[in-house]
Chain A
Amino acid sequence: MLLINKQKYKQISDKDLLDKYKQSHNKVFIEEIFNRYAHLIYGVCLKYSNTNTICKDVLISIMEILMKQAKSKEIKNLKSWLYVVTKNECFRHNKEMAKIQSNSIDQCNKDIYYQQKEEELNEISDKRLLSAIYELVDEQKQCLMLFYFEQKSYKQIAERTGFEIKKVKSYIQNAKRNLKIILSKKIKENELV
């Protein structure tokens, strides 16, 4: 019976899991979220903490924060929320990275801004998106188009372009970030006009 329930929970979206937890306070839903994201949170911890030893503490802290906040507050985008909270917890646990923490707060603000604009950006037409892509620098534009439009893997893009795999990844990531900034600017300009 428990196994059947667990299988059933796997089909539920993050938002529904949070809603159900908010209503029932049943930790089964948090457990499912934990199973989905524990390894990702741990991975982020590995990236942002100096030692592996704090990763477990950070993971416990995050689950406790989630259980507390999900009861009272609405978490719109769980992935982004987990990412921001994980990074902050890592910085809190890692005093040496205090400088980066201040940067991360800026990043968090940006993330929240993007979340707020998500609905508007969703309505952007392909034509406007393509025009924004053409404004990107060549490396970013090339990698992005190969990755999203031609469905090429990092390895294949690296082979075709001659860039290192690491560079391909960062080009694509930067391309996405810049695209959002360009699109947001365009929306703002339209509103002013």
Chain B
Amino acid sequence: MNLYNNIFGNKAPISAKEMEDYLSGKLSDKEMHDIELRAQSSDIDFDAFEAYQQNPEALKDISKLKTDVSSSILKSTSYLKYFIITGIAASIGVFIFFYPDIFTNQRDNNIAQNTTANQKIEIKTSEKQQETKSKELFEENAEESPTLVTSAEEEEKPVKSEREKTEIKRLKQKQAVTIDVLDSISGNAKLGFTYNAGIKYLARYKCVDYSLYDRDNANKKNEQDRGLDPEYANLEDKKYKRQSLNNDLNLSYFAYLEKALYKYKKAKYSEAIAMYNTILSQYKNDLNAQFYKAMALYQLGKYEKAILFYNQVIDEPVNVFDQEAEYYKALSLLHTNKAEGKKLLQKIAEDAMFYSQKAQIKLSEID
């Protein structure tokens, strides 16, 4: 090393520990010279060295200061990234756990909002457009008929997790033991709707809440007694045809119905009908399956078949879908027997119930 580097060359910075040792006076002359040499090597070392000589107590604050600043700038920012990522992942996880059907329901909300907003415009729409919108109109009706406490709950919290739904179902099953059915009948008239049964919403569709009633499973098929159903060629054929449904056999009634309603909502009408048939095979007079099967048939353009099921619904003593069934029966009749359909629409229009206005609009379009 030449003389220049000896005087002006870069040297390692003095550490806080070395500074402390120097100030304590316990170093030898050689060690002291080494530190002084480094202090003279740069302005920053020199000034700091001088400052600590004047104020040796300040060195005691260094470790705490280092920790504070390091945690506030360096470590916090370096871990902040991981903290944010973990936080977002956890939030998404919790969100998905509690709202598994959010995306489907969100889409339904949009449809419902659109249909409500377009309600006035529908006056000018053609008959054809009206028919294509019949599905949406029905959904709208389901939205607009909150009469029981259960429906109000649904309106307030349109998106419910499976867990919440199960809780509600369990609660109602418990209530069914203690509450008289007649209690649920009282006060059900609102907005031109009258129900004589409890309702609940599945997949945003109105349904009869059978959990409130003690419904015997009298129509459940007993294969041992009845033998093989004639619709199947043999047991293998039956096994094959019912394979797709086997996975759902362990589901509860409402879970299965909800699944079927989602099929309907996604316009998979044939699949939905197959599922409603399964329900009807166990509960012959199941109003939900009857009505939504009729709706699916209507959507498929099988109006005559649809009318048969609408009639069944209308004849049922449990009165939940009677107005809808009547209105859509009228719409179906317009395709098969126009005069009869028109007559029924006139009757609905005069009833001053929920569908009277729609019936009037429809009539004006026909005329």
Contacts and interface: CB of A to CB of B under 8 A. Distances in A.
B47 A126 contact: no
A90 B65 CA distance: 17
Given A40-B48, A130-B3, A35 B8 contact: no
B45 A79 contact: yes
B69 A34 contact: yes
B3 A129 contact: yes
A36 B66 contact: no
B179 interface: no
Interface in B12-71: 13-16, 19, 29-30, 32-33, 36-37, 40, 42-52, 54-55, 58-59, 61-62, 65-66, 68-70
Interface in A45-83: 46-48, 52, 55-56, 59-60, 63-64, 67, 77, 79-80, 82-83
B6 A37 contact: no
Given A44-B47, A125-B2, A179 B77 contact: no
A59 B51 contact: no
Contact of A148 (B7, B50, B55, B72): B7
A127 B236 CA distance: 109
B82 interface: no
Interface in A145-179: 147-148, 151-156, 169, 172-173, 176, 179
A153 B44 contact: no
A153 B33 contact: yes
Contact of A154 (B36, B55, B73): B36
Given A34-B70, A56-B69, A42 B46 contact: no
Contact of A126 (B3, B65, B74): B3
Given A64-B73, A156-B29, A172-B40, A44 B48 contact: yes
Interface string B71-91: 011110110000000000000
Nearest to B25: A155
A48 B10 CA distance: 24
A79 B44 contact: yes
Interface string B299-334: 000000000000000000000000000000000000
A46 B74 CA distance: 23
A95 interface: no
A27 B6 CA distance: 33
Nearest to A118: B8
Interface residues of B, number: 48
B5 interface: yes
> What class of interface size applies to chain A in its complex with B?
35 or more
Nearest to B40: A172
Contacts of A30: 74
Contact of B7 (A35, A36, A179): A179
Report whether over half of chain B's contact residues are helix, strand or loop; otherwise say mixed.
helix
B56 to A, nearest CB: 11
B45 A124 contact: no
A147 B61 CA distance: 31
B12 to A, nearest CB: 9
A64 B236 CA distance: 75
A79 B51 contact: no
A77 B43 CA distance: 12
B58 A46 contact: yes
B29 A153 contact: yes
B55 A46 contact: yes
A173 B40 contact: yes
A9 B3 CA distance: 30
B42 A153 contact: no
Contacts of B7: 129, 144, 148, 176, 179
Contact of A47 (B19, B50, B73): B50
Interface in A101-115: 111
Contacts of B65: 38, 42, 55-56, 59
A173 B4 contact: no
A102 B141 CA distance: 79
Q: Most B CB atoms within 10 A — which of A35, A153, A156?
A: A153
A173 B13 contact: no
A41 interface: yes
B48 A39 contact: yes
A182 interface: no
A86 interface: yes
Closest 10 CB pairs of A and B: A43-B48, A83-B44, A46-B51, A39-B16, A40-B48, A47-B51, A43-B51, A153-B33, A153-B32, A79-B42
Given A83-B42, A122-B4, 11 more contacts: A31-B75, A41-B44, A44-B48, A56-B69, A60-B73, A67-B73, A79-B44, A82-B44, A126-B3, A153-B32, A154-B32
27 contacts: A27-B74, A27-B78, A34-B66, A35-B66, A36-B13, A38-B66, A39-B16, A39-B19, A41-B48, A42-B58, A43-B49, A43-B58, A44-B44, A44-B48, A46-B54, A60-B69, A79-B13, A83-B44, A121-B4, A124-B2, A124-B4, A125-B2, A147-B36, A147-B37, A148-B37, A154-B36, A156-B33
